[in-house]
Structure 1
């Protein structure tokens, strides 16, 4: 008999986790091996158990599901990640897939779509909840394609890691958040930041934001309320 695929649930609502476990228990091909209510606890359990699939909420009390997804993708490349969220906005969906998720299901649809989503994600396929697919496609069709405008000589002096950290700093990420996402120490982030500022002859965070916006590296709308 074929072994069941193992599932870890990371969600801060105990009642919702119970509901998901009930749904999965009806499927003979999957089993829930553990659950967690915070991002930190979820990542620790994922690292220990190495599940086939992680069901992950975006809104967690200590860190975002996107941050957890990036860490799991980095440390457990064979574990598939599926987002279960109440959010259906295109921005959340795009960031989820960019963070390493291969499936996205709205919580309201879980009862009817979770089994199908698990089958797809566990098989290495992508799954997008059909209740939001039309909205996503429409948004993408109406979104102009942004072309890279990076041509500054100073930017070219940065290493690939420095360029990555520069963008994250310009987008407002803290040194601690960057260290967490890239799995490096805060001290290393500080050293990279110092090198970036020196190479670009920039002396403040706002100057860095203006520089990144001028090159088209960040979306200036991120800084609007």
Structure 2
């Protein structure tokens, strides 16, 4: 694994001491710093340049899940291992979606924490075996729902809205759409606004991407 610099983020001083004692068992792990809250963690992540952050979910000034998302945006190469007492699938799935590279419960054995650090530090992903099967199932179901969502949204469009969508995707202006369908520009714009609202899209670029995902265009 090589030497890895570790930043500990947890609001309980005694637990941080316990983590440091475990980390000192591995000569390849260097404690870069420790923080009791999110704001301090953001500062230390910039100042100490850690390789891995050990991060709790429950922090006094901000959720660790939100902090993980922030750290991932600020430091794309930073590895994040959540160490939390929360075992509910919802918490874990949200942490993974926020950018966490691993998740270990606080009641896990010291050896499991070191194993997780080794895997995450080397660019891998680690889920506590006690929760991994349930979490994997939830993540898979979520992915399937996201895949189904575009088709379901498209099915909600009327025949005329689908016509307008096809023309907009092909690059026609609102006036050109109106002329092609023999309707007023105001009516064409109304159909365009309606279909964008139904699909939850903001502009033509997003509409083109949506159509591509559905296979309506190359």
Report the TM-score, using the length of structure 2 for normalisation: 0.67
The CA distance in 2 between the partners of 1:41 and 1:133, in whole Å, is: 30
Residue aligning to 1:50: 49
Say if 1:3 and 1:47 are closer, same or farther in 2 by CA, change over 3 A. Answer: same
Contact 1:82–1:105, Cα closer than 8 Å, also in 2: yes
SS in 2 for 1:78: coil
Residue aligning to 2:129: 130
Residue 101 of structure 2 is aligned to residue 102 of structure 1: yes
Say if 1:158 and 1:47 are closer, same or farther in 2 by CA, change over 3 A. Answer: same
In the comparison of the two structures, how many residue pairs are matched?
161
Q: What displacement does 1:51 show?
A: 0.5
Spell out, residue by residue over 1:158-180, the C-alpha distance to the aligned partner (whole angstroms, 9 max, x if none): 149x9xxxxxxxxxxxxxxxxxx
The CA distance in 2 between the partners of 1:80 and 1:144, in whole Å, is: 23
The CA distance in 1 between the partners of 2:143 and 2:196, in whole Å, is: 28
Q: Which runs of 5+ in 1 are unaligned?
A: 163-225
Runs of 4+ aligned residues of structure 1 deviating over 3 Å after TM superposition are 137-145, 149-152
Q: Which runs of 5+ in 2 are unaligned?
A: 155-193, 207-218
Spell out, residue by residue over 1:42-80, the C-alpha distance to the aligned partner (whole angstroms, 9 max, x if none): 111112222000000000001000111011100101110
SS in 2 for 1:63: coil
Residue aligning to 1:72: 71
Matching residue within 148, 153, 164 for 1:150: 153
SS in 1 for 2:11: coil
Spell out, residue by residue over 1:88-115, the C-alpha distance to the aligned partner (whole angstroms, 9 max, x if none): 1111111111101101000100523111
Q: What displacement does 1:140 show?
A: 5.7
Contact 1:50–1:76, Cα closer than 8 Å, also in 2: no
Q: 1:201-212, aligned counterparts within 5 Å?
A: none
The CA distance in 1 between the partners of 2:19 and 2:62, in whole Å, is: 21
The CA distance in 1 between the partners of 2:16 and 2:55, in whole Å, is: 11
Residue aligning to 1:118: 117
Contact 1:58–1:64, Cα closer than 8 Å, also in 2: yes
Residue aligning to 1:18: 17
Report the RMSD for the aligned CA atoms in angstroms.
Answer: 2.6
Residue aligning to 2:82: 83
Say if 1:95 and 1:119 are closer, same or farther in 2 by CA, change over 3 A. Answer: same
Contact 2:93–2:138, Cα closer than 8 Å, also in 1: no
Residue aligning to 1:27: 26
- Indicate the structure (1 or 2) with the bigger Cα radius of gyration: 2
